[in-house]
């Protein structure tokens, strides 16, 4: 009997994002190798920086996806008319420039 679309034959199967044993072991091996090489990587990056700033920046850019989360675009929607924060008037009075208050109506 075939499964219905969207249904799993093993509903309590592997959790989402779980890695298998081989992947986990490979990652651990890679990390242990890299820990021993960290000083050499830093030295090579320093040499690259001295030789060519362009190549150095390219190398750093290649590393970024492994250390920074991928950026996603988010839409911000403001509902209603903008209003000044409660502390805004106090700051404007202290600074003495009412023209700086973009929230004041003309």
Number of structural domains found in the chain: 1
Q: Is residue 106 part of a domain?
A: no
Top pLDDT among 15 and 103 is at 15
Torsion of CA 55, 57, 59, 65, to 10 degrees: -160
- pLDDT classification of 56: cutoffs 50, 70, 90: very high
- pLDDT classification of 100: cutoffs 50, 70, 90: low
5: tokens are 């679309």
Is pLDDT of 106 > 70?
A: no
Does the pTM surpass 0.75? The reply is no
Q: Is residue 78 part of a domain?
A: no
49: CB partners within 8 A, 6+ apart: 56
What is the C-alpha to C-alpha distance for residues 7 and 78, in angstroms, rounded to an integer?
39
Is pLDDT of 40 > 80?
A: yes
Expressed as residue numbers, the domain containing 54 is 20-70
Percent of the chain past pLDDT 70, that is, above it, reads 86
Q: Is residue 42 part of a domain?
A: yes
Q: Is residue 98 part of a domain?
A: no
């Amino acid at each position: 009997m075939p499964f219905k679309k969207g249904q799993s034959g093993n509903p309590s199967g592997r959790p989402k994002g779980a890695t298998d044993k081989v992947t986990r072991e490979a990652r651990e091996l890679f990390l242990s190798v890299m820990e021993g090489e960290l000083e050499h990587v830093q030295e090579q990056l320093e040499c690259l920086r001295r030789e060519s700033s362009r190549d150095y920046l390219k190398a750093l850019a290649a590393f970024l996806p492994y250390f920074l989360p991928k950026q996603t675009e988010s839409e911000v929607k403001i509902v209603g008319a903008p209003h000044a924060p409660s502390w805004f008037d106090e700051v404007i009075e202290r600074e003495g420039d009412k023209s700086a208050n973009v929230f004041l109506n003309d």
